[in-house]
Amino acid sequence: MQERLQKIIARAGIASRRHAEQLILSGQVRVNGEVVRELGTKADASTDRIEAAGRVLRAAERHVYLALHKPAEIVSTMADPEGRKTLRNLLRGFKERVYPVGNLEYATAGLVFLTNDGDFAAEMQKKWENVPQIYHVKVKGRLTLEELAELGKKAGVRLRVVRQPDAARGQKAANFWYEATLRGAKRDALRDALFSAQHPVEKLVRIGVGSLTLEGLPAGRYRLLEEKEVKALRMSWEQKKKSSELTPRMPRPARTRRGEV
């Protein structure tokens, strides 16, 4: 069956559909030995010899879906031109070639979803604005009830206190943690609003993406998702409900062991 090349490449787990388009445009895709540079080109994966980025496409591997707990100071890609540690360093020994959906900043820790299912990844990326995300945010100072309401409204997110300093352990009174429920790119709006209110973000941890959470997943580790979890994840952007209806109260993320990546 004839299909668009970028779809075939994505389904084979070589790259995301968007990256597959870049491979085509840069002349890194061949069909039966001929370089293809046009995005509308179609081929038959069952009969044509297709090469992408130096790899010959074979029958699609089994689709896998992973939840990974990324520590801070890890690039949320599979390769980095600056030589920094990437998600690939955390997936040593995992034979399937997967890639992440949804970016997580270098300095931010937390949940990352990865898969080799190109169609699922493309759909999730397209609907990313509808995928609810849960963050734990450590800020400088303590927000008053008025500030919580004002900042939440200004940044378009829902905020609540989840952790406060423990005086018995000698923790400073300035270290308060809040839970933020948001969608799309509102993370940056929240960061800017907190900075403007003189409560800059000190730490940020993403503990939930759609229906997935970090519960029981230590920093630097990953786990395979079950079929029912994948279906629930899809429902998290297909259903047009409020974030509070889509996501339950989030547990505290697992503690990170010193030196573990």
Give the whole-angstrom CA distance, residue 6 versus residue 20.
Answer: 5
Between residues 2 and 46, the one the model is more confident about? 2
**244, pLDDT greater than 50:** no
**45, pLDDT greater than 50:** yes
pLDDT tens digits along 97-149: 899 998 899 999 999 999 998 889 989 999 998 899 999 999 998 888 889 88
Give the whole-angstrom CA distance, residue 158 versus residue 214.
Answer: 19
pLDDT tens digits along 18-27: 889 999 999 9
**230, pLDDT greater than 90:** yes
Q: State the pLDDT confidence band at 253, using cuts at 50, 70 and 90.
A: very low
- Quote the pLDDT of residue 259: 33
CATH architecture assignment, domain 61-255: 2-Layer Sandwich (3.30)
> Which tokens is 249 given?
């109260």
Instruction: Return the SS3 of 141.
Output: coil
**205, pLDDT greater than 70:** yes
Angle subtended by helix axes 145-155 and 186-196, to nearest 10: 140
The counts of H helices and E strands in the chain are 8, 15
The domain spans of the chain are: 2-56, 61-255
Q: What pairing do the DSSP bridges indicate for beta strands 201-209 and 109-115?
A: parallel
Residue 257: CA atoms inside 13 Å, Cβ hemisphere, count? 6
User: Distance of CA 84 to CAs 18, 77, 173, 180, 257, Å?
Assistant: 23, 10, 34, 29, 20
Q: State the pLDDT confidence band at 165, using cuts at 50, 70 and 90.
A: low
Give the whole-angstrom CA distance, residue 92 versus residue 78.
Answer: 12
Give the whole-angstrom CA distance, residue 218 versus residue 254.
Answer: 5
Tell me, letter by letter, the H, E, C secondary structure of 156-223: CCEEEEEECCCHHHCCCCCEEEEEEEEECCHHHHHHHHHHHCCCCEEEEEEEEECCEECCCCCCCCEE
Q: Is 126 left (phi over 0), alpha (psi -120 to 50) or beta?
A: alpha
CATH architecture assignment, domain 2-56: Roll (3.10)
Give the whole-angstrom CA distance, residue 181 versus residue 212.
Answer: 14
Among 109-113, 166-170, 195-199, 202-206, which stretch is predicted with the lowest mean pLDDT? 166-170
- Quote the pLDDT of residue 185: 63
